[in-house]
């Protein structure tokens, strides 16, 4: 378990450190300082208030840290400009390094800042949420949201390393941990039936669960292999797009409800229900799986219906902006079996409308 996992991308390969991550982080920071490379950390204000000790122990100074507001709205143009100005005002050059200390919002923002500042500088991920540990910190997708849609601006920019320390999850709010479990369940559905069966057997997981570190590592292994095979999501079918199981629906929910009303993982949970139902409607999956997926999500206190009605037309409009779409046609990730996802096109709008109404859309 102590051995790092390598994301094998040739000369851009990088390690994901697990149980020895705090030691690896201190060693990395020491090497950067010896090379006289300036460093900065982007993190959200809530995390800085609760875990500033972690950064201090690692060796970061207060002057190197930029605190940003917590929440999905930080993945937007104004905080992005603030972060760029923080680097520029500190006269940081191309040898400078950005560390992301936070969940998926901070990781995506910091990665895009690093990708665009001086046309690209190095960055490192220190994920502090379960969702970031199993998903967003790995693979190099960075970006911000626009009012028109989620992740419409960004870049593929791989980190130099990822440091996963499950001790950071002990201060994570229960709701945030549950949101991360939606991504864990997603990985079991799209690529690992055995993992799905294990999650059903284990019941409710928590940051203290003995099984959690191995589950996090397994999710990282699954994502790393998909990224290696299709780094920039250019495969004609399948490939990296499969990682978006449930996300075409989830991103539409976030957009129509207003960013921040749902945690990303909560929207993904509803999206997984809809993707499973769509798979059944298309004759790809047995109907009995709908109840099993719903039950597993509800075990972790995740929503399986909309909290309040959202306009179906607004949801459909948001779906049209999904990045997986091809030639103006909606493109979904569906399940031919649990553990075997595919990309599917040509779904009739009436089918999608009915699915939305089945989870409470108006």
For 247-280, give one letter per residue: b (16+ CB within 10 A) or e: bbbbbbbbbbbebeebbbbbbbbbbbbbbbbbbb
For 285, phi then psi, to 5°, come to: -140, 145
Active site residue 247: yes
Instruction: Establish whether 78 is a catalytic residue.
Output: no
Is 264 noted as a catalytic residue in this protein?
yes
> Is-catalytic flag, 233?
yes
Of the candidates 75, 150, 251, 331, the residue annotated as catalytic is: 251
Annotated catalytic residue within 75, 92, 150, 183:
183
From 17, 92, 150, 240, active-site residue: 240
Q: Are the C-beta atoms of 240 and 226 separated by less than 8 Å?
A: yes
Query: Which residue in 75, 217, 218, 223 is the catalytic one?
Result: 223
**β-pair partners for 101:** 43, 126
Which residue in the list 186, 217, 247, 324 is annotated as catalytic? 247
Catalytic residue among 2, 91, 119, 210: 119
Catalytic annotation, pick one of 92, 244, 254, 300: 244
Whether 170 sits among the annotated catalytic residues: the reply is no
Cα–Cα distances in Å, from 2 out to 161, 214, 300?
15, 11, 28
Specify which residues 126 forms β-bridges with. 101
Half-sphere exposure of 10 (CA within 13 A, CB side): 2
Query: What is the DSSP annotation of 184-214?
Result: HHHHHHHH-HHHHHHHHHH-S--TT-TTHHH
Query: Per the residue annotation, which of 233, 255, 266, 300 is the catalytic one?
Result: 233
Residue 141 among the catalytic residues: yes
Tell me, yes or no, if 183 is annotated catalytic.
Answer: yes
From the candidates 75, 141, 217, 324, which is the catalytic residue? Answer: 141
Q: Name the nearest CA neighbour of 361 among 319, 279, 318, 305.
A: 305
Q: Which of 264, 277, 324, 331 is catalytic?
A: 264
Q: Catalytic residue positions? A: 119, 141, 183, 223, 233, 240, 244, 247, 251, 264
């Amino acid at each position: 378990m102590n051995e790092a996992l390598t994301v094998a991308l040739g000369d851009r390969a990088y390690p994901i450190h697990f149980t020895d991550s705090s030691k690896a982080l201190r060693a990395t920071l020491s090497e950067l300082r010896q090379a006289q490379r300036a460093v900065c950390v982007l993190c959200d204000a809530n995390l800085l208030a609760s875990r500033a000790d972690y950064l201090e122990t690692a060796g970061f100074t207060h002057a190197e840290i930029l605190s940003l507001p917590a929440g999905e709205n930080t993945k937007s143009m104004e905080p992005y400009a603030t972060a760029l100005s923080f680097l520029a005002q500190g006269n940081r050059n191309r040898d400078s390094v950005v560390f992301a200390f936070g969940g998926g919002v901070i990781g995506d923002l910091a990665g895009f800042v690093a990708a665009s500042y001086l046309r690209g500088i190095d960055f490192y991920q220190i994920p502090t949420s379960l969702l970031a540990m199993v998903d967003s910190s790995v693979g190099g997708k960075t970006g911000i949201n626009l009012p028109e849609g989620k992740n419409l601006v960004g870049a593929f920019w791989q980190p130099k390393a990822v440091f996963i320390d499950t001790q950071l999850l002990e201060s994570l709010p229960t709701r945030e941990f549950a949101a991360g479990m939606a991504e864990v369940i997603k990985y079991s559905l799209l690529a690992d039936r055995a993992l799905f069966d294990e999650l059903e057997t284990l019941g409710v997981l928590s940051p203290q669960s003995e099984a959690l570190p191995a589950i996090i590592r397994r999710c990282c292994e699954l994502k790393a292999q998909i990224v290696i095979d299709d780094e920039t999501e250019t495969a004609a079918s399948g490939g990296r797009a499969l990682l978006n199981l449930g996300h075409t629906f989830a991103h539409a929910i976030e957009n129509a409800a207003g960013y921040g009303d749902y945690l990303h993982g909560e929207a993904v949970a509803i999206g997984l229900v809809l993707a499973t139902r769509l798979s059944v409607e298309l004759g790809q999956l047995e109907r009995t799986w709908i109840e099993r997926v719903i039950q597993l999500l509800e075990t972790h206190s995740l929503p399986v219906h909309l909290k309040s009605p959202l306009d179906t037309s607004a949801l459909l409009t948001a779906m049209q902006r999904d990045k997986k779409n091809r030639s103006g046609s909606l493109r979904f990730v569906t399940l031919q079996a649990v553990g075997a996802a595919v990309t599917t096109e040509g779904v009739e709008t009436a089918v999608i409308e009915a699915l939305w109404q089945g989870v409470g859309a108006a």
